[in-house]
Structure 1
């Protein structure tokens, strides 16, 4: 698996001149590799250091726990941060694994086997975070560092101050030269670059070490339940999961990423456990705000959130952008029964009627996805029954990294 290393070197070569003194010759491949290793090592330290936060108590790894696929270790729908660690977040914290192939955000994404065929516009696609507003690892890292309800630094200068006070000056000067410390903006950018390079470490962030990957390589077999779950996952008339969570290899042979990187409105129920939702006028509308501000008022984008990868989904304890569900089975069942059994998911009003799609204002409900297994009417038979839901959940369990066979199984 050489291509991730090459990509890391290429990334580091592109970053080589950031905050660097002018040099007569471009960096050699060996130098770029050495710099990549140093940046990744620095980024790993920064990622786990709470001293970079305003409170001195919150590190990147606090919410993106390496032992939990770089997602939260707890089941809280949002995490707490801020200057005194009492400020609640607005959204569930996503995993940082398998983000290496996420394209930059675009409003019009075209993809086909024939690169000349651009007949299908897949609409808003790509970008990091739930609303796609960051187009690179360092841009993504900037968000929590400066967020008032996360690491709560008032400005980049505060981050730099904390980093120097924490003793990172010598490592920064070793990588970038002595002049780096005299330029606060360059130092801040260097810190972000280190975090970005660390997250390009394929062994840690995209190892492709699940049972599913072993099955793809012919090294194990899926159980009958897992195999049936995969079949249902891909069946357009049943789970239809693979229509958004692609389960085929990329054209370059890369294993499936289990996402199309697109934006979709699922209309998950409003989560009263999120403090911001105590205000009935507050709605997290994803692509059209309020955290993303460049599409405010763009009604066709309201309620859309990026489709995450399903790799390591079985390790999560909260699901969807607002953490409304706490079991993978409930998450799958929601797709199957949102429209056929809405009373299972949405609250009832005082008059007994169901508050359907209660977290999305009525004027945006034309955006809601109705592809299978959604659709139908209350009382109709759902696309998936209980057994089929369990089988899909069993298959999703094969996407967890770090799988080790109990014994060697013959290739299928």
Structure 2
């Protein structure tokens, strides 16, 4: 049995996440007999369905093991896997921040190079297919290649360059032999990273205990009303599916919500001033020309079209899961909406109303009180083991030398 871990919550300003207990105490997240360590617990978690979630799908050719999980965690944190040894996977998917990044709307790669999209959480990525905002990959075993070689992410000249490093490093030589009985290779690198990511499973939220666990007290009245609105008047469930046995809150499909079109219109017609946050709750308006003078040119983002080059796929983005949504801000594919209320307001007014947007996106007429209730429901999707996952992730110092 896992010990209960303190669930994170937001502060009174709606911006600053607070933890009921800090700093993280790994002992709270351990079982009584912890002789095998965190990786054994992680392996067990990936093999044991959690309330509200289906069983983790493990590929037949990549059965999980403690050795693969330990190796995958080490790879995930190792900055030496970038061209100048400064960037790791964990720098965009921060364990203590819901395995995303709260401070940045869009990710930043090697030498401060801008990435035009927000870092999606990798919590429960085991259940997602396809992956990325535009669905350009379909498996955890292969999705890592693009960040490794992207010029604005880890910027390696090739994936083979990284494999060659792994086969020169004594620690990795031993760990690959323990995990696979073979030297490092591109496929084994992907299998180890995937095995670790499939342990980042977070269910058993208050909503799950209420809907799937039979605990009528797990949700307060506001959250229960919010669920009724979510599945009824708000029509959110049309894309964020809720099943009878489990719920991933996504249809794994692509939709034009109008948001991508709206952001491109804003890119082409920038405002005279832009709001800059100096500190939590402290903003100033700055002449946009001053910001543009020291910034890279913002790229257009055509969504799914950039994968298929089918004009019908312009502005389409994958429906994200809503699990742990309160802990994975900012929102939308480019992170330009900072709060859940910003997102709810966008959908309540029916998006921008551009001609090609999905007919599902239309004015909803929800009152402020109803929006409050939906937000309360979304907050009930936060799992209690997030700080335990972060503690496991930090079980060893990263390799930065």
For normalisation by structure 2, the TM-score amounts to: 0.70
Q: Which runs of 5+ in 1 are unaligned?
A: 16-31, 104-126, 182-186, 343-356, 358-364, 376-381, 405-412
Partners of 2:48 and 2:374 lie apart in 1 by 35
Partners of 1:45 and 1:279 lie apart in 2 by 35
Partners of 2:329 and 2:60 lie apart in 1 by 38
Conserved? CA contact 1:263–1:304, under 8 Å:
yes
* Counterpart residue number, 1:79: 107
Partners of 1:232 and 1:318 lie apart in 2 by 23
Whether 2:223 is the aligned partner of 1:223: answer no
Name which of structure 1's ranges 94-103 and 391-400 shifts more when overlaid on structure 2: 94-103
Give 1:10 deviation, angstroms: 7.9
Partners of 2:122 and 2:314 lie apart in 1 by 24
Give 1:314 deviation, angstroms: 0.8
Count of residues in Structure 1 that have an aligned counterpart in Structure 2: 309
Whether 2:159 is the aligned partner of 1:156: answer yes
Partners of 2:324 and 2:48 lie apart in 1 by 25
* Counterpart residue number, 1:147: 150
* Counterpart residue number, 1:241: 236
Partners of 2:322 and 2:98 lie apart in 1 by 11
| Structure 1 residues 217-258: Cα deviation after superposition (integer angstroms, max 9, x where no partner) | 1233311111111111000xx210011001223xxx3x2111
DSSP 3-state at the match of 1:325: coil
Whether 2:255 is the aligned partner of 1:264: answer yes
* Counterpart residue number, 2:195: 197
Partners of 1:10 and 1:242 lie apart in 2 by 24
Partners of 2:56 and 2:379 lie apart in 1 by 33
Partners of 1:58 and 1:315 lie apart in 2 by 23
Whether 2:84 is the aligned partner of 1:66: answer no
Partners of 1:396 and 1:157 lie apart in 2 by 42
Equivalent of 1:99 in 125, 131, 143:
125
* Counterpart residue number, 1:44: 73
DSSP 3-state at the match of 1:14: coil
| Structure 1 residues 50-93: Cα deviation after superposition (integer angstroms, max 9, x where no partner) | 1111131211111111222211132x2111112xx220001111
| 1:246-395 superposed matches below 5 A | 246-249=241-244, 253=245, 255-268=246-259, 269-270=262-263, 282-289=299-306, 292=307, 295-296=308-309, 298-338=310-350, 366-371=355-360, 374-375=362-363, 382-395=364-377
Give 1:12 deviation, angstroms: 6.3
DSSP 3-state at the match of 2:126: coil
DSSP 3-state at the match of 1:191: helix
Closer/same/farther in 2, CA of residues 9 and 383 from structure 1, 3 Å limit: closer
Whether 2:47 is the aligned partner of 1:5: answer yes
For normalisation by structure 1, the TM-score amounts to: 0.68
* Counterpart residue number, 2:136: 133
Partners of 1:51 and 1:279 lie apart in 2 by 29
Equivalent of 1:174 in 174, 178, 181:
178
Q: Which runs of 5+ in 2 are unaligned?
A: 2-43, 50-54, 268-273, 275-290, 387-401
| Structure 1 residues 146-179: Cα deviation after superposition (integer angstroms, max 9, x where no partner) | 111111111012212333455311111223335x
Radius of gyration: which is bigger?
A: 1
Partners of 2:203 and 2:218 lie apart in 1 by 16
Conserved? CA contact 1:9–1:36, under 8 Å:
no
RMSD: 2.9
Partners of 2:254 and 2:59 lie apart in 1 by 30
* Counterpart residue number, 1:211: 206
Partners of 1:367 and 1:9 lie apart in 2 by 36
